[in-house]
Amino acid sequence: MPFESALAILRDKNNDIHLDIDITGDVNDPKFDLTDAINQALTGALRRASVSYLKFYFQPFDTLNTVAGLAGKAVRLKLDPVPFSAGTASPTSETQEYLMKVGKLLQERGDLRLKLCGKAVPKDRLEEEAARALAARRAEAAKDYFAGSFGVASDRLFVCDPEVEMEPEAIPRVELIM
């Protein structure tokens, strides 16, 4: 997760962040570097606090998966995808409450950015080129929803290249990645 996104998630209404940071190590060891210890502790605390906040925020939805994130590598947060009706660029009616939660989060946290990745699947019953176009329309529909309904600036919403997934049981969707 980009540092700025983690900070945006953690700031309260007064723009303050409160973290408990544990630092361990032997300060008498010549290899001990307080700067490195603080950076590692801060990075871990930011990651854990951000993930915890988002899990709490999206209750009762089980929407959060961390992707990547070992040994200081960037962590991306992948929310549950937005399912679409087969062959259409319209989300299913059951997703309205979830879309509203994501939209409100983006509205409340003005520094967050969201990547929208449209997927077409065999259930769409389209040729490759038409399926890619449908996947692109799905991502654009999600982007338009967040921009239009919640006033999220379009420069905070990024549309991925459309993809056609070939697994027979795959669900038509837009994946949401922070």
Read off the pTM: 0.71
pLDDT attached to residue 24: 64
Domain that holds residue 121: 3-177
Over the stretch 5-57, which tens digit does the pLDDT of each residue have? Answer: 766 777 777 877 776 666 666 667 766 666 766 677 667 777 777 777 777 77
Instruction: Return the pLDDT at 1.
Output: 54
Q: What is the CATH number of the domain that holds 55?
A: 3.30.1330.60
Q: How many CB atoms lie within 10 A of CB 171?
A: 14
Which helix (H) or strand (E) segment is 49 a member of? helix 34-57
DSSP assignment of 70-95, as one string?
Answer: STT---EEEEEEEEB-TTSSSB-GGG
For residue 7, give the amino acid letter.
L
The mean per-residue pLDDT over the stretch 93-109 comes to 91
Number of domains in the chain: 1
